[in-house]
Chain A
Amino acid sequence: MNTDTLAPDSNLVPPPAAKPDHPLRETLVIFLKNKAAAAGMILLLIVLVGTIFGPALYGVDANEMVWIPLSPPGDGTPLGTDYLGRDILAGILVGGRVTLIVGAVSAVMTIVIGVVVGAFAGFFGGRVDAALMKFTEFFQVLPSLLLAMVLVTIFAPSLTTIIFAIGVVGWAQIARLTRAEFMRIGNLDYVKAARAAGARDSYLMFRVILPGSLPPIIVSSALVTGASILFEAGLSFLGLGDPNTLSWGLIIGQNQNYLLDAWWTVTCPGMAIFVTVLAISLIGDGINDALNPRARKRG
């Protein structure tokens, strides 16, 4: 925690070994020491490896009928089969890609829209702010699942519409957060100092204020990613997923009628979703703790 400050007895001599200590280094150290976050990283790594290399290694076609429909785990297939006799494990491995991609891409979309709207509102204030915040409020009060359902129904369920729908409904919260951070940091003297030194608006927004406001944005990005994955699952479950691309939500959705007779058809992909979202939120918590240690020394 100690930092290499200049030698005490003179203003003129920095200690020979003084290493530039990047302000983020301490954060990284705290993060790496956090057990829960490490567990989250490991879980996420397993999920990623499984979805990237799993299908090739396992080698079973997820769309083929390979066994007796609705046979339980261990009885011919590791995680059982669904109502069409398709291998659940293969489904999970393949479907994971879609779920994770939808989650990630829609999270990126959510974050980009949110950050841009929030940045402009917070930076320029006044009328720009009032107009953008009215717009944001509008999206915030709409019931998001309903809106997403309407969007998907209107534009026919496909991956693009789903990603678009999730992105459109989720950004308001990020926009508010970004706006608040931009307002807070925009008032700090170092931003004024940069302006006084001749910085243009774009430089101030993206090179000075944005890096400073990233920490809370990163934390809530983790949450947003988790939420997007759940959202995709929710839509698929309601039968609004893209029927042609296998995802975790779709497996659950297609098998929901057999829930009582064949629990594994729903529970196994459900567990996959649970583990992934848990992993991401553990990582998010870890980042949050690392960025806001309670007694951070300022000198």
Chain B
Amino acid sequence: MSDGNNILRVNGLKVHFDTGRAPGGGRRIVHAVDGVNFSVKKGTCFGIVGESGSGKSTIAQAIMRLVPITEGSVFLKNLQISGLQGESLRDARARFQMVFQDPFSSLNPRKKARAAIREPLDLLGIGDAKGRDEVAEEMLTAVGLHRDAGRLFPHQFSGGQRQRLCIARALASRPDLIVCDEPVSALDVAIQAQILNLLRKLQQDMGLSYVFISHDLAVVQYICDEVGVMYLGQFVERAPVGKLFAEAKHPYTWSLMAAALSPEAERGALAKRPLLGGEPPSPTNPPKGCRFAARCPFATEKCKAEPPALRDFGGGHRVACHFAGELEPPIPELKSAA
């Protein structure tokens, strides 16, 4: 906990949304994030993967203080950003910034590129007008756009270029941390590769740290140093990237791996894999035992009754499964490694 190297520490984070009265009386509470711990070391990238609705974006927005935090704390270095309010929160915002998924909706259509990049500086009162323009141009070139591109409106850029603009904007206030919520999911493969490489390069050049959200395991493996696998508001497995992909131990992680496609795979390969059926349960009423039990091929009575703890398997590898380490992975590659 007291590791001075950590840029970000998230402790016991819970975000619950109250969505009105429940039919049977009481309130309907969405347990979007339900007790999440992790930390991000300086200059590294922490990845979060999981299904739609598992709470990935909610973590991102809780860190960014865009949704109210129900419980838990978030520290940026030594600053507890979860406790900040009003002006002190505004002042701290320069140090953590965000890149959103959809490059079409995350730029104000009425602001020219340069104004969009300058906006954080303007709002936070960093530097003088001339200095801000210089920063904007510097950031444009840093993300591989021409400095004159600042004169154009967002609709004059392609999707990939817009995502570059969003990155430039996030960089403008020289943050320590950038939270990227599926920054490449809306892009096609060619542009995705450009943006991933850009993010990597910026990380090296500027010593940036990222929280990187994606649902694509291959992308996460490419860019992240540590990964948390999320299911229904909680981490079911968390490990350094090499360990996770070499010896994943949670049945849900296996099912994500099984569903991944590869250009080299045989036609119809999916049919031979252990695919997950059904749908995740509602986050309004999470199951009381293991949250994955209803869909897990290995589930027992114990799983349905008792929630598994996130147990340590050494080397920073943690798994929340009662039978972690005892089960035979249904993925051939993992078997040979084990």
Contacts and interface: CB of A to CB of B under 8 A. Distances in A.
Consider the complex of A and B and state whether they touch directly, i.e. have CB atoms less than 8 Å apart. Answer: yes
B98 A6 contact: no
A196 to B, nearest CB: 5
A18 B156 contact: yes
Interface string A1-22: 0011110000111100010111
B196 to A, nearest CB: 15
A21 B155 CA distance: 9
Contact of A193 (B94, B98, B104, B148): B98
B149 A14 contact: yes
Contact of A6 (B105, B106, B157): B157
Interface stretch (A112-120, A184-192, A231-239): A184-192
Nearest to A23: B109
Contact of A13 (B94, B146, B166, B169): B146
Interface string B114-158: 000001100110000000000000000000111011011101111
A11 B105 contact: no
B93 interface: yes
Interface in B186-216: none
A14 B112 CA distance: 14
A194 interface: yes
B102 A197 contact: no
Interface in B39-88: 61, 64, 66
A218 B233 CA distance: 42
Nearest to A194: B119
A6 B149 contact: yes
Contact of A12 (B102, B119, B123, B145): B145
A76 interface: no
Interface stretch (A36-44, A53-61, A160-168, A198-206): A198-206
A143 interface: no
B159 A12 contact: no
Contacts of B151: 14, 18, 20
Nearest to B87: A200
A21 B149 contact: no
A23 B152 contact: no
Contacts of A197: 93, 97, 119-120, 123-124, 169, 173
A5 B144 CA distance: 15
B156 to A, nearest CB: 5
A21 B156 contact: yes
Interface residues of A, number: 31
- Name the residue among B66, B100, B155, B161 with the largest chain A CB count within 10 angstroms: B155
A198 B101 CA distance: 20
Given A11-B145, A14-B152, A298-B155, A196 B105 contact: no
A212 B108 CA distance: 9
B144 A12 contact: yes
Contacts of B108: 190, 194, 208, 212
Contacts of A74: none
A14 B106 contact: no
- Name the residue among A13, A22, A197, A212 with the largest chain B CB count within 10 angstroms: A197
- Name the residue among A4, A188, A193, A211 with the largest chain B CB count within 10 angstroms: A193
A190 B148 contact: no
Nearest to A197: B120
A195 interface: yes
A192 B152 contact: no
A293 interface: no
A189 B153 contact: no
A206 to B, nearest CB: 13
A202 B173 CA distance: 22
A189 B97 contact: no
B156 A199 contact: no
A298 B98 CA distance: 23
A182 to B, nearest CB: 15
B296 to A, nearest CB: 34
B158 A196 contact: no
B107 interface: yes
A266 B98 CA distance: 64
B110 interface: yes
Contacts of A194: 108, 119, 123
B27 interface: no
B335 interface: no
Nearest to B104: A298
A12 B148 CA distance: 9
B288 interface: no
A22 B158 CA distance: 16
A193 B100 contact: yes
20 contacts: A4-B152, A5-B158, A6-B152, A6-B157, A11-B164, A12-B144, A20-B152, A20-B156, A21-B152, A23-B110, A189-B102, A190-B109, A192-B66, A194-B119, A196-B66, A197-B173, A198-B94, A203-B123, A211-B110, A298-B104
In the A-B complex, list the 8 residue pairs whose CB atoms are closest, starting with the nearest: A189-B106, A197-B120, A189-B100, A198-B123, A198-B93, A198-B124, A190-B108, A188-B105
Given A6-B156, A6-B158, A199-B119, 17 more contacts: A6-B149, A11-B145, A12-B146, A14-B151, A20-B112, A21-B152, A21-B156, A23-B155, A190-B105, A192-B61, A194-B119, A194-B123, A196-B98, A197-B93, A199-B123, A212-B108, A299-B158
Interface of B: 61, 64, 66, 90, 93-94, 97-98, 100-102, 104-110, 112, 119-120, 123-124, 144-146, 148-149, 151-153, 155-159, 161, 164, 166, 169, 173
